[in-house]
Amino acid sequence: MAVPTKGNATTNNSTPGGSFRNQAHTQNTGSGGLIVAQFTMSNGVSYSSATYGGVAMTQLYQINRSGLGQRMAFFYLENPPTGSNTLRVNFSGSQWNPLSTHIRSFTNSGGVGASTRTGGSATPHNASLTVEDDSLIMITSCSINAITSQQIPTGTNQSYTQHNTNRQVATGAISSDAGHSAGSILLRATATFGNLSLDRTEIKGLGGSGSSRRRIIIC
């Protein structure tokens, strides 16, 4: 297998002011194309669908974080149209609060793999995700308080964007380019204090004749 190649990323934290939001994004050219989108917004309305370049995206999850008053979702599309297109996300009604948006493109990807979500837990919030060889991991968190780190794996801080949707959202954190060996990968999210969520999703490598990487078992 081969580690997915990271492509363009787009973030936005504006208020839709209606029942949908359009966001321009450019998908990279190459085999094994994949586009993913992470959203967080006030839970007064829900996500009904998303498209990229007019093509329907698949909803991986949608979760109502009632304790935070937020609704988080993840959509993806394999082999999306390349070049500059519009990603449109639709809601069940008008949204008058900010929408946290993070869009990421990949090539050389085998698609979306394992995905697990954990609600509010006291900082540091520790979790794990079992992945295949040569995969990447994306994580996102939400809290009442400022989020201070997104660690993939635990102990390795990854860059992220912090949005304010009337709650604090960390979005866009992803593994280093080298990816992970197969196994259970330990993850951590931290905030200044209090509870925060931790959602994690595997971005699989492109299948091939097998990886030559040395495998490390993480206990």
pLDDT category, 207, cuts 50, 70, 90?
confident
Question: How far lies 110's CA from each of 18, 63, 149, in Å?
Answer: 35, 25, 28
Question: What's the pLDDT score for residue 206?
Answer: 85
Mean pLDDT of the chain: 94
pLDDT score of 191 more than 80: yes
- Whether 18 and 48 have beta carbons less than 8 Å apart is answered as no
pLDDT tens digits for range 156-174: 999 999 999 999 999 999 9
Q: What's the distance, Cα to Cα, between the start and end of the chain in Å?
A: 23
What pLDDT is recorded for position 114?
A: 98
Contacts of 210 (CB under 8 A, 6+ apart): 1
Q: pLDDT tens, 88-143? A: 999 999 999 999 999 999 999 999 999 999 998 899 999 999 999 999 999 999 99
pLDDT, position 152: 98
Residue 213 has pLDDT above 70, yes or no: no
Break the chain into its structural domains and give their ranges.
5-205
pLDDT of amino acid 201: 98
